[in-house]
Structure 1
Amino acid sequence: MTHRILFVCLGNICRSPAAEGVFRALMPEARCDSAGTSGWHDGDPPYGPMQAAARARGIDLSDLRARRFVAQDFKRFDLIVVMDEDNRAAVEALRPAGNPAPVRLFTSFAPAAGASHVPDPYYTRDFDGVLDLIELAAQGLKAELV
């Protein structure tokens, strides 16, 4: 079975594209995408410092482009993974009636990390710390899927 997973953050330039890149490297057979709950950066590549931090770990994000989360994503994906509770609320507000697609916090796949959400490095500037957490959560997600 091919898993279809969508990673969602606010602007789709830091956390969710990093999660997409890390997960597609970890589980290339999965169909992954990422989106943002805002349309501020539609069409933009991931934020330069996030790309650099990911590239230092062997993850290339340069082919990704930001897009906004839309209600049709509930039909396109088996699992929607959000970075924080604000993202979850914005995604759930667009859920079509009766659609059962699960929406889960990414940190739920890395309970040992003790994090309630994936912090936004656009504001914290901690790109490496965020990537550490994303890698842990990605490993947990893969373990749950296989």
Structure 2
Amino acid sequence: MKQIHVLFVCLGNICRSPMAEAVFRHLVHERGLDQQIMTDSAGTGDWHIGKQPHEGTRGILDTYQISYEGMKARQFSDHDFNGFDYIVCMDNNNLRDVKNIPGSQQHSHMIRFMDLLPEENEENVPDPYYTGNFEEVYRLVSTGCVRLLDQIQHSA
């Protein structure tokens, strides 16, 4: 398998996308794919650059013993189109914002996270920064990350 790079994108890069990054990285490690699959996260906004994940995200990851060590918020950049094979946006607004950045038209694996979970009644991963429901977001993220990793492994 060639090395694959996956980027999760949300609004501020402190709740949903770092949760997805940590969960996905944990799954990759469990499957022994650390050398083949790299992951990161970014936000479309710049409000939280350099900050660690939100306390609610850290709390839920601690509950499930998933590391978020070294994770700091950063903003999405047009350079990410060249550095990542998969760009996974947590909601329709994030996807729209990323698609509005010059260079996005050449990127073939840009998806909305909830497309991994067609049985759910949500188009978007709810933002727990506003809802406070980190457990629900973890449920969606953990299921979707398994499916994404399965897809990547099957297409390799």
Q: Is the 8 A contact 1:45 1:62 kept in 2?
A: no
Q: CA deviation digits over 1:78-110, x for unaligned, max 9? A: 010000010001101114175233210111112
Letter in 2 for 1:69: F
Give the structure 2 partner of residue 52 of structure 1.
59
Q: Quote the Cα distance in structure 2 between the aligned partners of 1:123 and 1:39.
A: 17
1:7 match: secondary structure: strand
Q: Quote the Cα distance in structure 2 between the aligned partners of 1:83 and 1:141.
A: 13
Structure 1 stretches (4+) deviating beyond 3 angstroms? none
Letter in 2 for 1:24: R
Relative to the length of structure 1, the TM-score reads: 0.95
Q: Is the 8 A contact 1:8 1:80 kept in 2?
A: yes
Give the structure 2 partner of residue 22 of structure 1.
23
Give the structure 2 partner of residue 12 of structure 1.
13
Q: Quote the Cα distance in structure 1 between the aligned partners of 2:104 and 2:27.
A: 33
1:34 match: secondary structure: strand
Q: Report the Cα offset of residue 130 of structure 1.
A: 0.3
Alpha-carbon distance change, 97 to 59 in structure 1, aligned in 2, over 3 angstroms: closer
Which residue of 139, 142, 145 corresponds with 1:135? 142
The answer for unaligned runs of 5 or more in structure 1 is none
Q: Report the Cα offset of residue 74 of structure 1.
A: 0.2
Q: Is the 8 A contact 1:5 1:80 kept in 2?
A: yes
Q: State the identity as a percent.
A: 37
Q: How does 1:83-94 map to 2 (within 5 A)?
A: 83-94=90-101
Q: Quote the Cα distance in structure 1 between the aligned partners of 2:98 and 2:104.
A: 13
2:19 match: secondary structure: helix
The answer for unaligned runs of 5 or more in structure 2 is none
Relative to the length of structure 2, the TM-score reads: 0.89
Q: Is the 8 A contact 1:106 1:118 kept in 2?
A: yes
Q: Is the 8 A contact 2:46 2:74 kept in 1?
A: yes
Alpha-carbon distance change, 71 to 125 in structure 1, aligned in 2, over 3 angstroms: same
Q: Quote the Cα distance in structure 1 between the aligned partners of 2:84 and 2:11.
A: 18
Supply the RMSD in Å over aligned alpha carbons: 1.3
When structure 1 is superposed on structure 2, of 126-135 and 103-112 the one drifting more is: 103-112
Give the structure 1 partner of residue 85 of structure 2.
78
Q: Report the Cα offset of residue 63 of structure 1.
A: 1.7
Q: Is the 8 A contact 1:20 1:34 kept in 2?
A: yes
Which residue of 88, 99, 118 corresponds with 2:125? 118
